[in-house]
Structure formats: C-alpha cells, structure tokens
Chains A and B, each alone.
Chain A
C-alpha cells in the first residue's frame, strides 16, 4: 500500500491536517483531523507541590491561561479541603468574565469573523483581521483593540499579570480589590456591554440580513445532532465559573446532571492510532464511532452547546438575544429552555450572546457590595489528597483532577481540556463538509475554506493540546482511495 510522503513545507505550522479517504466510487468514506502533538503536562506535574499547578498548567495555553488557572485553583480548594470566602470567589469570577470578553472578541473579529465579515468566498489574503478592519472601518478596529486592552488591564489588576496571572491560591485569592480599582472595572464592564451589543448588531446586519449567509448557516453541511454539555448554576442557568455539569440529549431532554468531581463516571476517552489527541465521549452512552444521534456517546461543548443546556440566560439583555436566536431557528420551548439548535455555524451567534452575558455578569460582580471585602483567603490547614476543579473554558468544559501524597505533592494529574471535548464533533463536521462537497473524486480548491469553516466554528484552541493558534492552522487535504493510496493533495500555501 502506498503511503503519502508529506511535503515538509506544508508542515511548517503543521499542527492540523485533514485526511480524506474515498471509496471505489470516489465518494467520501472517511475524513479526519490529525493532531500531531502530545502534551506532557500530566506527567511532569508529578512530584511538584500542588500549589505550583495553577502557575504551571496555565502554560499549556497562552490564549486561555485564565481558564487553566481557575480550574487548577478550584482543584486545589478541594485538595486542601478549603472553601474560599465569598469575595474571593467573586473576584475569581470577575476576572474570568473579563477574560471571556477578550477571548470571544478575539475569535469573532480575528479568527471566525472574517469568514462572514469579509466573506466565505473572499480571497484568502483578505480573510484576516486587517480585512475585517478594512470592511468595518479603522474606528471599529480600534474599538476591538481597545476592548482587548482594557480587559487585559482588568486581568492584570486582579490577577497580577496580563498573560499567565498569579492571583489564584488554594482557599481564595492573593489580594483584595481596592475601591478605586473597582470603580474603574465597573466603568469597563459598562463599555463591554455596549461593545457586545454593537457586535450583536453587526452580526445581525452582516449575517442574519444576508439570505446567502443564513442559508449557509442552516444548510445540511453544518448540521449535527449530538449531545451537548455545559455548566449550570442552582437555577439550571449558565455559569462560566462554577456549577453542575449538565448534558442534554439531541432531543433537548436532560440526559444527566452531575458534580464535576464525578466526571470519571460520565466521561471516558477513546484512543486512535492516527492522532496524539484523545476523543472523550459519554461513558454511559458508549463509543459508537464518529456518528450523530442519541445512541452515540459523542458530545459537544461549545458556546452553542451551553445555550442548548441552559434554562435561559441569567442576565436580561443576554436573555433577549438568546430567545431571538432560538426563535429564529424555529426551536420550540422545552420548559424553561428550547429544543437544541443543531446548526453548527450558529455557534458564532451563540458566542456573541455569551460575550454579552460575560459583560453583564462582569457589571453585576463589579457592583456587588461584597467584592471589595478584605476577606479573600482561608488558609488551608489540612490535606485531603484529591481534588477536581472544573470551569467552562470558552471552548468547552475544562476539568483538572489532581491526587497528592500526605505532603501535598502531586502523585497524579489528569486534564480534560476544552477543545478536546469537541474533537469527535470537529472530525464529524469536517467529514460532513467533505461529503457534501466531494463526489466522484472531484475536488476543487474552493472547498478548502468551507471545510475550514467546519472546524473554525468550534474555535479550536489546539494550543491547549498542540500549541497552535486557533483557526490559523495551515490546511493540507489528502484524498485517498479505499486502499489508502493518495489520489490528490490540496494545500493552502499562501
């Protein structure tokens, strides 16, 4: 059997590669995204003091260090059997909300947005942040930069550093919030709400009012019925920082709701020989391969998933937009929530609704009378020896699980990172897009961006696993026959 020699040039960034297998008729039989790296963080964390881990594990990813920092410090609360004071939890969530604003902004304007704002069929050289600025105007470009900048300042103020913050300690937070800083954060939160509303308006004008785009969003190419996962609070409503993990079935029915510490009873991982990344699935449904439906344990953990799981949004303006989204797609009411939306490109819309929620939640916390309380730490006095910490990272439910010896030295660490949850759905979306676009062995260059759009909507943060910038991986598509022989290689080499 002939195996394809990879041209080294296409591997320059080389972290994402799509392979497509064709059957004898030249139609798509299989397709997958290969991830060529392994993170050794679980291994070399062993032997370190547990309290080092919020600083170590966030180095997994410079795009979402705050998510790893929070999951890690929550795991430490459990390891040291200590419940942080309310003000500490609120400061953590305040920082986390500011982080969500910057992260979702970056994705919409720099990574995913260009497909819509500049256009899915625009020349690749224009489909980038500069193309977006060119299209929407320099003033708006400056607003995007300003939004990132001011929220980074908030993260620095609260967490000590802009990238890789250091504020999290077991039992709370390392410094209290001063009133003068709180006043400034309140002002920034208000600006964020305006910015989020502006972004939703832009999405409405550019995408929803364009029937070509709306047809693309609701086409079969980007449609999958899977389980959905998201954290919910005691009212069964979305929260990014804390709550129970809720999973809903493709029908919208609640499948299970569990405490994060019990994740091992619900999530298992599948190993495939062709990739270093593992595939999590719902243990109690089982692994049935890369397929849709109630019988397949494949689940998705994205902004759209979280909106499919929540009983409405906890903040008023986000709730309005949440209703509008589900009603636009014709979902029926299902108690306090709606039937799930399965159109995967709607994830871009859901992300902006979450941006608005994060901004509103930030304002709630910044005006909470308790947020400036000096009582931000309970000093741990015991070592329980095991703990699980879980947050909603922008790209999916993030779980850190540590075990320690009696001195608090790590003996075991297991991490399930946000994007990893979505590895199977991403592979399925790529396959679906390829199936719809390739028949009888005919492939053209124009399909590349449509296939890229199939994974870009997940905002895949392969930095977390492979150290790459989401949405910016070079694509190489290999077309193989059923014997594994290469028929064609198409690359995006610009």
Chain B
C-alpha cells in the first residue's frame, strides 16, 4: 500500500498549530517514514500535485483568499481536519465578529492610528489585487464540510501525533485527558 498523502495550510491563524506539528520533535523522522507530504508551508510544495488523503487546516476564514484556499483543500483532500481553535471556531481573530465592522477596522488601522503620519490623501489600501476582508471571521466548517476537529490553542503535539497515527493505521484514537485538555 502506498503511503497516505498529507497536505497542510494556515489560513487566518498564527502558525502556532504548525509549530505544534513540528513539536512532535524526533517523531518527525518517523512521520516522514509513515506519510508523504504534498502541499504545505512546511515543505516547498506550494500547489497540489496530486489528490491527498488528509488535509490539515489551521486558521479560520477572514478574507476571500482564505475561502478560496479552503475550498481547494476540500476538493483535493479525502479527509479534512480543523486543527486548533481558529479553524474550529474562528478563534481569537473572531473577537472582531459583531464588535467592530470592517470599515472601523480599516479606519482605525490607516486613518486614526496614532503613528500614521504620512497618509495625506487618507488612503485605505484599495489595490484590486488585495483580497477582500470578510464581514466576520468564519470557522472552517461553515464554509466546507470538515471531518475531524482537534481542539487547543495550540493543540498539543501529542494530540496531533495520536490523531494522525490513528487515522493512518485505522486504530481507535487514544484520548487521555492531559492530551485533549486545553486552556
């Protein structure tokens, strides 16, 4: 049987979940034996070169580009995992939901900010190639179907490892409290 193929991405996350994947430490060398990596910011494969078995999503969707990437992952991966709080619930970036409007966010950042001195024409970045900021931050499962959810901010390295091994080997997942709990 050929090795399962894994792809990963970070949407509106902080990259902490990807750092937690790296925190499986020397088990990285085992993981490389168990699976094949495709598109991921951890390697240099930047677009899907084949269909993948497992897609790991960090981060929710805060702009139009995040939605596009997430849909591409759904199309190319058999199983999608929401990794961490931002993918699962929108996480900290979702604190802007129902609190500040996009307009307020932009005005605060570019017009009213105390250190902005050099903006004589009161520009708010508007290049057509910049993706649109969404009205709020969306968890991934509100955009596409998500198969599994791994909690934590960031999820513990042991949780990520146990989940991947369970998925790859088809065995039940070991979920002791100290691995699943998060604060």
Contact = CB atoms under 8 A, between A and B. Distances in A.
Contact of B117 (A4, A37, A127, A283): A283
Interface string A117-145: 00000001101101000000010011001
Interface of A: 3-4, 6, 8-14, 17, 34, 36-38, 40, 42-44, 46-47, 56, 59-63, 65, 124-125, 127-128, 130, 138, 141-142, 145-146, 148-149, 152, 161-164, 166, 263-264, 267-276, 278, 280-281, 283, 287, 401, 412, 414, 416, 463, 467-469, 472, 474, 492-494
A414 B115 CA distance: 8
Nearest to B137: A40
Contacts of A142: 26, 29
A148 B22 contact: yes
Contacts of A468: 10, 15, 41
Nearest to B122: A271
Given A43-B105, A125-B44, A267 B115 contact: yes
Contacts of A14: 65, 69, 131
Nearest to B48: A12
A150 B25 CA distance: 10
Given A37-B63, A468-B10, 20 more contacts: A4-B129, A6-B129, A9-B47, A12-B46, A17-B129, A37-B62, A59-B14, A63-B19, A65-B16, A141-B29, A162-B23, A268-B117, A271-B124, A274-B127, A278-B109, A278-B110, A401-B114, A469-B41, A493-B46, A494-B46
Contacts of A59: 14, 16, 91-92, 153
* Max chain A Cβ within 10 angstroms of own Cβ: one of B20, B23, B41, B42: B41
B108 A61 contact: no
A152 B29 CA distance: 18
Contacts of B95: 44, 56
Contacts of A152: 23
B138 to A, nearest CB: 14
A12 B72 contact: yes
A164 B20 CA distance: 11
Interface string B86-102: 00000111011001100
Contacts of B117: 268-270, 283
Contact of B44 (A128, A268, A278): A128
Given A8-B68, A44-B95, A416 B115 contact: yes
* Max chain B Cβ within 10 angstroms of own Cβ: one of A4, A36, A65: A36
Nearest to B154: A163
Contacts of B16: 59, 61-63, 65, 163-164
Contacts of B109: 38, 40, 42-43, 276, 278
Nearest to B119: A271
Nearest to B153: A164
A269 B22 CA distance: 35
* Max chain B Cβ within 10 angstroms of own Cβ: one of A6, A10, A463: A463
* Max chain B Cβ within 10 angstroms of own Cβ: one of A40, A56, A145, A269: A40
A44 B100 contact: yes
27 contacts: A10-B47, A12-B47, A34-B127, A37-B12, A38-B109, A59-B91, A62-B19, A62-B20, A62-B154, A142-B29, A145-B26, A162-B157, A163-B19, A164-B154, A269-B113, A269-B117, A270-B117, A270-B118, A271-B119, A273-B124, A276-B109, A278-B116, A401-B114, A467-B12, A467-B15, A474-B47, A493-B46
- Give the 5 A-B CB pairs with smallest separation, nearest first: A62-B16, A268-B117, A270-B118, A274-B127, A44-B95
A276 B17 contact: no
A161 to B, nearest CB: 8
A46 B11 CA distance: 24
A301 B99 CA distance: 34
Given A38-B133, A162-B23, A469-B10, A124 B17 contact: no
Contacts of B12: 37, 467
Contacts of B105: 38, 40, 43
Contacts of A268: 115-118
A351 to B, nearest CB: 19
Contacts of B19: 62-63, 163
